Every structure is written in structure tokens, then in C-alpha cells.
Structure 1
Amino acid sequence: MHEQTSVSDDLRGKTVLLTGATQGMGRHLARLLAARGATLLLHGRDRERLAAVADEVRQSAPDAPVRTYAADLADLEQVRTLADAVLAAEPRLDVLVNNAAVGGGSAPNVRETSSQGHELRFAVNHLAPYVLTRRLLPLLAASAPSRVVNVASMGQAPIDFDNVMLEHDYEGVHAYCRSKLALIMASFDLAAEVAQHKVTANVLHPAHLMDTYMLQQSGFTPAASLDDGAQPTLRLIVDPKAEGITGRYFDRFDDRPAHPQAYDAQARARLAALTTELTAPFTA
């Protein structure tokens, strides 16, 4: 399936929660989803930018309902509050798109931590979507058939379980690549767990060197547009042909193998146990 998704794909009556909607691919994807009539739940960290994007989306698609939810994903307490706000206010959730991420950073040798003291990229790119998804699973199941789409990267590095938080030998891009592999591994586990509820979970690399602030901050030269990344992401959200597909990693439109560690049962089990331990106060 290499064709781009047609604007005729109708999302009216469907509710989509999109994290990281205030810039880059998320902002572009919000407009594409609104054009298809989706009820949009837009997440961002900065309330002013979030309001500006919501206004922009409403102007581009006046008939598409748009609601906003602000939270800093570097604080798992705020992630829990975000999920609970959605559960309290929204009657359904058809698609959760975990798009928000922290890249390698402009100072790649400076190790940063989250509010809970975890390495920042691991926290935002893996632990935050894990908590958000876990807390929203009852609503996704009640709205089934529903979908979880996790935005990862072809940049993947194996997790060293003796140095998960990179307390030594830290480097930002390497931390990012590790966090994205963790997201992929968790996505595969999630897919197996929720299949019985008619919830699918897939993960993708949207485009190579997409023109985002995160990429530019890390010092790379862009080689793909925002639309290049948004189209394969949109396909996993709306394409009827993707309805029965789950537990897969896509390189743009192609079903490809992820890093070998993603298929290592022992590594997946170790990551799952660690993730459960670190997030237990926020998923219960």
C-alpha cells in the first residue's frame, strides 16, 4: 500500500487524540485530520501555541470539532492528568496518535532528566506514551474498533539494561534512538494484549530526515517534507485496509523489520517489567 490517502477518507464521527500537535508533523497532521471531519483532541505543552494551532485548524476546517489538552509529557503526573481529563470529557476515542517526542537536542552531550528523574528521552518518548495509552485503554476498547498509532523512527539503538538511563556514556541522539526502540517494543506487546478488544497498535517511521525543528536542532539537514511523514501516518489512522493490521513496524508505507532487539522475547520482558515498575504510580 504505497498510495497516498485520499481526502475522501471520512473521519466524521471519529475522535482522534494527537499528541505533539503544536509544531512539525503533528501540526500538519492536525490539518489533514480536520479536513476529513475528525473530532480532534490536540495535545501540546505550550498553551499559547496549542490555542494558536487549534484556531488555525478551525479556520481550515470550520466543521471539524477541535478541543485542546495541555500537558508536559516530561512529567508523568501531568500525563496521568491529561488522560484523566480526556476520560472525563470525551465520550469516545477512536484513534490515539502518540506523536510527541524529544529529539537528540542542541547540546547532545548534556544529559537531561524528567520530573521523575528519568533520562528525558526515555521518559518522553517511551514512558509518557505508555502511561497515556494505558490509562486510555478502557475508552479505546469501548470505542472499538479503534487504533493506537505510535510514531517512532528508523533510528533505533539496542537498550543496555545495565545502563538504561544512560547515566554514563550519554549522547543525545543515541538516547533518542534507544527510546524509539523502547516505544517499538512496547507497541508490539500492546498489540498482543489488546487484540481481544478490537484495538490495533502499530508503529512507524514516518519519513527519513523530515523537516522538523527537532531534526534541525540535532544538526541534521532535512531531506523530506512534513507531508512526506504525515501521509504514511495518516494511512494508519484512516485507511480501511489497515483495520485488521496490528503489531507491525512500518518504514513509511512498507511493513519492515524493526531492530532485532524488538523481537527478543527476553529483552521485551525486561523492558516491560522495568516500564511497569517506573510507571506503576501513574497507571493504577
Structure 2
Amino acid sequence: MKKTIIITGSTDGIGKLAAIKLAKDGHEIYIHGRNREKLANVISEIKSASKNSNIKGFAADLSTIDSVQQLAKGIASEVPKIDVLINNAGVYNSSASKNQNGFDMRFAVNYFAPYVLTNELLSIIEKSPTARIINLSSAAQAPVSLEALEGNISITEQAAYAQSKLALTMWSFNLATQLSNIQVIAVNPGSLLNTNMVKEAFGTHWSSADKGANILYDLAVSAQHKDITGKYFDNDKGSYGNAHADAYNQSKIEDLIKKTEAILK
């Protein structure tokens, strides 16, 4: 069955590779990127590579809540039903350490953006009988400082990245408990994959980007993952596994969600 699939951060890296792979199966794909010109070029590239004309896209900067909300409105006005939402966009290095609201850029893009986008699109996702939400976590996870989340203290890029990915995982598990008919899976696509983000951050890689793209493809459409929700797939191990212990601490999850909602208001 052909699905409507949205992938954020998909003008390069594993998001783009997953989009091509899914497009080759004939699915309707909506990609996303910050740069309109690059977005248009990648849409053309995917159409050519997949022989699938049903490829569209949205341009948006995910570093501010306002732009994420505008993206959600744009998607809602054009897409009547979403079968799969892959929150793939992420940042490690950034030219600006904080966004215009004073939040660390890693928290803004890696956590607040998917949190807001997903919640804004839930009514459309719920229209699919086989809906899946795939959130890009990481092997790098560290206890979340609510002070850092709020922008009250500054922490290193590495710490902010790891904390943003744990925050995303904690929220993913919480969201899964609230949605009876929608699967929510957090995934570490693989450590140090050969992507631009990894090259800029670490200057080296361990595995090909295809490793990450392949697991995004599988989690999006494979029957193997049917009915699984509130779980963490560790692609370094090639199986479901345990995230950081805080992802299973209900008290810490509640504190995170409460603080997140207060910040977003």
C-alpha cells in the first residue's frame, strides 16, 4: 500500500537517502530543507532517481518555534493524511550557539522542533490507520538539565547534543503512551555515519550513510515493526534495546514535559 511520508532534514544525509529508497517504492514523499533552491534541486534529483513524480517539499528553518509552526500550517494545508512522519532533522555544530529565543541550537532543532511539529500535525497523522512517527535519537544521550533546556545556562555542544537526543527519546516514550493508534519509535540510526553533520563535528566516520537510511526505510514501512511503539531501536546493535535510564524514569519524563510546555507557552 502506498503511503504519504514526510521526512524533515532530507535534502542531504540519511534523510535524503531514505527519501530516495522510499520513493522507489512509489510512496508519496514530502522532503524538507532550509534552502529553497537546494530543496527544489533535491526534489528533481529524487524524481529522476526513483522515476516517481510524486515528490514534493517544504522549506523551513527549524531553529525557531514560529518557523516550525508555519511549516506545520503549510503541511496541514496541503497534506490531508500523513502515514509516516520521520523527524530526521538534526544539528550538532552551528554557526550560532543559540537561536533568536535564547535556546541552545541543539535543543531548538533536535528537540523543540520535532516536539512542536508532531503535536501540530497529530490530527492529520491520526487519519492514517497505520500511522508511524519515527524520531531520530542517538547513541549519545545524557541527563537533561532543565536549566540548559530553558536557556538559563550554557553547556558545550557535545553536552547539548546528547541532552537534546535524550529529551527527544523521553518525549517519544511519553507520546507513545498517549497515542493508542499511532506507533512512536525512537531510533539511533548508527554512530558516526558518513554524513556532512558527522564530518563537520568529528572529521571521521565509522559506517556508511546507507546504514542509517536503511533503518529509516525499514522503520517507516516494514511489517517487521508493525504494532511496536514506545521502543528504542539501536542500529549500532541492529535491534531494539535500552535507551538511557532516564528515558524510563516517569518522574523525570513528567518534569521534562511540564518544563517543555511552559517554555513553549
TM-score normalised per structure 1: 0.89
Residues 119-134 of structure 1: pairs in structure 2 closer than 5 A = 119-134=104-119
1:218-272 deviation digits (Å, cap 9, x = unpaired): 1241011111111112111011121200000010131111001111111100100
Task: Report the alpha carbon displacement of residue 18 of structure 1 after superposing the two structures with TM.
Answer: 0.4
Measured in 1, the distance between the counterparts of 2:253 and 2:155 equals: 22
> Unpaired segments of 5 or more residues in structure 1?
1-10
- 1:279 matches 2:258: no
Change over 3 Å in CA distance of 1:76–1:169 after alignment to 2:
closer
| Distance (whole Å) between structure 2 residues aligned to residue 231 and residue 219 of structure 1 | 22
Q: How big is the shift at 1:166?
A: 6.1
Residue 77 of structure 2 is matched in structure 1 by: 88
State the match for 1:3 in structure 2.
none
Looking at structure 1, the residues matched to 94 and 133 of structure 2 have their Cα atoms a distance apart, in angstroms, of: 30
- Length, aligned pairs only: 263
Q: Of 175, 182, 186, which residue of structure 2 is paired with 1:203?
A: 186
Q: 1:250 aligns with which of 198, 218, 233?
A: 233
Matched, 1:171 2:160: no
* Alignment counterpart, residue 69 of structure 1, candidates 29, 33, 58: 58
> Are the counterparts in 2 of residues 19 and 43 from structure 1 also a CA contact under 8 Å?
yes
Identity of aligned residues (%): 35
Give yes or no for contact 2:32–2:57 (8 Å, CA) kept in 1: yes
- Aligned to 1:74, what secondary structure does the other structure show? coil
Relative to 1, partners in 2 of residues 1:278 and 1:162: Cα closer, same or farther, differing over 3 Å? closer
Q: 2:125 aligned with 1:136, yes or no?
A: no
Counterpart mapping for 1:49-68 below 5 A: 49-68=38-57
CA distance in 2, matches of 1:106, 1:182: 19
Any runs of at least 4 consecutive aligned residues in structure 1 with deviations exceeding 2 A, and if so which? 160-169
SS at match of 1:218: helix
Residues 83 and 136 in structure 1, CA contact (< 8 A), matched pair in contact too: yes
The alpha carbon displacement at 1:114 in A equals: 1.7
Residue 164 of structure 1: SS of its match in structure 2? Answer: helix
1:10-49 alignment runs, 5 A limit:
12=2, 14-49=3-38
Structure 1 CA distance, aligned partners of 2:78 and 2:153? 43
Structure 2, unpaired ranges of 5+ = none
What is aligned with 1:8?
A: none
Tell me the CA shift for residue 168 of structure 1: 4.1
Pair 1:232–1:186, CA change in 2 (3 A): same
Question: Hey, what does 1:4 align to over in structure 2?
Answer: none
User: 2: distance between equivalents of 1:169 and 1:41?
Assistant: 35
The CA deviation at 1:279 is 2.2
Contact 2:150 2:263 in 1 (8 A): no
Report whether the alignment pairs 1:233 with 2:222. Answer: no
TM-score, structure 2 normalization: 0.95
SS for the counterpart of 2:132 is strand
SS of equivalent residue, structure 2 residue 70:
helix
Equivalent residue in structure 1 for 2:167, among 167, 182, 195? 182
Judge conservation of contact 1:122–1:165 (CA < 8 Å) in 2: no
